[in-house]
Amino acid sequence: MSRAALLLAALAAAALPAPALAQKPRLSVEQRLQRLEDESAIRNIFIAYAAALDQRNPDAYVALFAKEGQWINGSIVRKGPEEIRVLVAGMFRNTPPGFVNAESFELTFHPDIKVEGDHATARSEHVLFRRHADGSGMPQAVLFGRYEDAFIREDGAWKILKRIDYPTMPTPEEWGRIMRTRQQAQQQAPAQ
């Protein structure tokens, strides 16, 4: 290439705005809108998940998972809607009709969603609050954890393909002791 051609090429490159050099292929309006809609739909799964937990509603909870959905917390792995239903049915037992949860709620936040066609991933955080152990009735944060999720668009709707729950504060070891104590107390309590 001649010196003049090199100079022209350099000038042409310099004339381009910096982002244009590294820019991804320009998306159509339809594609950009679809991406926003997909992210919105996945954010709604977080909301629906917290609502299902809050209401202790196994049907609503299981409906959020894909046919091949997995739920993982440490060595506890549940595969498919039926195994997941058994898991939550154990957690949500003795829930009367019209139940209002005055014991606990979960706050989910910072969903970092990445959509890739009909698949997506998300990292998020959550805090579980329970009625305070001191008897005051105030909410007390009892667990902070992280979710690492995979989603799939199944029959046109986004579903959880894999949810990994990482208890962080307390650690899984500390939380395991708390859960075992609580389960023992529940097993000893008379059925309502």
Partner 1 sequence: MSGPALSVEQRLQRLEDEAAIRHIVIAYAAALDPRDPDAYVALFAQDAEWVNGGMVRKGKEEIRALVAGLFPTRPDDFVNLETFEISFHPRIELDGDRATMRSGHLLFRRGPGGNPVPVLFGRYEDEFIREDGAWKILRRVDLPTIPTAEEYGPVIRARQKIQEQHIRGARS
In the complex, the residues that contact partner 1 under the rule CB under 8 A are 17-19, 23, 29, 32-33, 36, 39, 107, 109-112, 123, 125, 127, 140-144, 168-171, 174-175
Q: How far is the CB of 141 from partner 1 (least distance, A)?
A: 4
Judged by CB, which is closer to partner 1: 82, or 174? Answer: 174
Secondary structure (DSSP) of 94-143: T--TT----SEEEEEEEEEEEEETTEEEEEEEEEEEEE-TTSS--EEEEE
Judged by CB, which is closer to partner 1: 4, or 29? Answer: 29
Question: Residue 145 pairs with which residues in a beta bridge?
Answer: 126, 167
Judged by CB, which is closer to partner 1: 37, or 68? Answer: 37
Q: How far is the CB of 126 from partner 1 (least distance, A)?
A: 10
Judged by CB, which is closer to partner 1: 95, or 104? Answer: 104
**Residue 191: helix, strand or coil by DSSP?**
coil
Whose structure tokens read 């668009």? 153
Q: How far is the CB of 1 from partner 1 (least distance, A)?
A: 28
43 neighbors 113 (Cβ within 8 angstroms): yes
